[in-house]
């Protein structure tokens, strides 16, 4: 009985902790929104974050996108060959990349690369009391540290998604046409026939949401770090895991809403 109530107690605490954390993240988002439109705008900060989140992620994203497209073409080919519809491989790759895999994989990669970096950076600043110093300097840390990162995330992840989509389709084209021998005209024809502008744009909207989520969670985790170097490590891990889970879960709901 005692043990049972103990378990219930822990479950209740965990749920409460989760809800509390979610509330804190939403509050952080609200304050980010509040601070975003409040001058002074430190454009250089924003660009620096954009460079970090976007430009420096290009290589990873291109690699991921290309190989994802290639593997989709390969798998799709074997599937479609069962009923002689190999020409549909192009459309399938393009549709999958633009709607789903482009945004999700890109944001996961960015989470791993930039989200973790954000958490670590802010966590280190927290444990080394640099954030407290900012408060002392009457400079709002949300305004200075978090707003540029969130802006960079929201803007750059969609752009990276575009790159990912494109390279993914290119990879699929390469595999489909040059390795599997599908007619190139039909391959492209099926892409344009099956893929709509809305597929691309909705994918980009998703990517923007993911960018928001990953930057917000990364910043939140780093911002609320405690417990020294160990705490920084834990914050980084938690940021990546939470952001990834949040991306995948929200992806489902976004898809349900949009398509």
Partner 1 sequence: MFSLSSEAKVGLFVLVGLIILGYMSVQVGKQSFGLKKGYTLEVVFDSAAGLDRDASVQIAGVEVGRVESIRLKDGKALVRLRIVPNVKLEKDAIASIKTHGILGDKYVEIYPGTHGEAYLAAGEQISRTERQADIDRLLHQLGLIADDVRGVTSSLNRVLAGQAGEEAITSILTNTKALTRNLNHVIVSNEAALRAALENTRQLTGNLNRVVTRNDEKVGQVIDTLKSASREMEKTFAALSEITGGVNRGEGTLGQLVKDKGTAEKLNQTLASLQEVTQKINEGRGSIGKLVNDDETVRNLNEGLTGLNRYVNKAEQFRTFLSYRGEYLFDKSNAKSYLDLRIQPKEDKFYILGVVSDPNGRRTTKDVTVGGVTTRTEEWDRDGLLFNAQIGKRYKDLVLRGGLLESTGGIGIDYLTLNDKLKLSFEAFGFGRDRRAHLKAGAEYRLFRHLYLSAGWDDFVSDQDNRSIYGGFSIRFEDEDLKYMLTTTPIPK
Q: Catalog residues that contact partner 1 under the rule CB under 8 A.
A: 43-44, 47-48, 50-51, 54-55, 58, 83, 85, 98, 155-156, 159-160, 162-163, 165-166, 169, 191-193, 195-197, 199-200, 204
Smallest CA-to-CA distance from 174 within 163, 189, 187, 191 is with 187
Closer by beta carbon to partner 1, 201 or else 253: 201
Q: Quick one: DSSP state of residue 259? A: -
Report helix, strand or coil for 111. Answer: helix
- Least Å from the CB of residue 137 to partner 1: 24
- Least Å from the CB of residue 158 to partner 1: 8
- Least Å from the CB of residue 228 to partner 1: 31
Instruction: Tell whether the torsion through CA atoms of 30, 35, 38 and 42 is positive or negative.
Output: negative
Report helix, strand or coil for 38. Answer: coil
Closer by beta carbon to partner 1, 51 or else 129: 51
- Least Å from the CB of residue 200 to partner 1: 6
- Least Å from the CB of residue 169 to partner 1: 8
Closer by beta carbon to partner 1, 40 or else 252: 40
Q: Quick one: DSSP state of residue 1? A: -
b/e 26-55 (16+ beta carbons within 10 angstroms → b): eebbeebeebeeeeeeeeebbeebbebbbe
Distance between CA atoms of residues 121 and 225, nearest Å:
10
Closer by beta carbon to partner 1, 58 or else 71: 58
- Cα torsion for 240, 208, 198, 85, to the nearest 10°? -20
* DSSP sequence for 53-90: HTGGGHHHHHHHHHHHHHHHHHHHHHHHHTTT-GGGHH
Closer by beta carbon to partner 1, 20 or else 51: 51
- Least Å from the CB of residue 76 to partner 1: 15
Closer by beta carbon to partner 1, 51 or else 132: 51
């Amino acid at each position: 009985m005692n043990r049972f109530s103990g378990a219930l107690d822990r479950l209740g605490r965990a749920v409460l902790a989760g809800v509390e954390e979610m509330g804190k993240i939403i509050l952080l988002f609200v304050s980010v929104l509040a601070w975003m439109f409040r001058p002074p705008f430190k454009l250089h900060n924003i660009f620096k974050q954009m460079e970090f989140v976007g430009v420096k992620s290009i290589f990873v994203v291109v690699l991921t996108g290309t190989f994802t497209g290639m593997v989709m073409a390969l798998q799709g080919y074997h599937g479609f060959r069962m009923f002689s519809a190999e020409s549909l491989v192009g459309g399938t790759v393009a549709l999958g990349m633009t709607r789903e895999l482009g945004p999700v994989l890109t944001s996961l990669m960015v989470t791993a690369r930039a989200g973790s970096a954000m958490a670590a950076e802010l966590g280190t600043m927290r444990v080394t009391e640099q954030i407290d110093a900012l408060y002392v300097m009457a400079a709002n840390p949300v305004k200075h540290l978090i707003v540029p990162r969130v802006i960079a995330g929201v803007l750059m992840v969609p752009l990276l998604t575009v790159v990912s989509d494109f390279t993914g389709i290119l990879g699929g084209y390469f595999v489909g046409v040059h390795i599997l021998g599908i007619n190139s005209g039909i391959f492209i024809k099926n892409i344009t026939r099956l893929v709509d502008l809305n597929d691309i744009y909705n994918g980009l909207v998703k990517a923007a949401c993911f960018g928001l989520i990953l930057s917000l969670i990364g910043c939140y985790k780093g911002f609320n770090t405690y417990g020294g170097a160990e705490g920084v490590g834990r914050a980084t891990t938690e940021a990546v895991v939470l952001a990834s889970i949040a991306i995948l879960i929200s992806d489902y709901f976004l898809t349900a809403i949009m398509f």
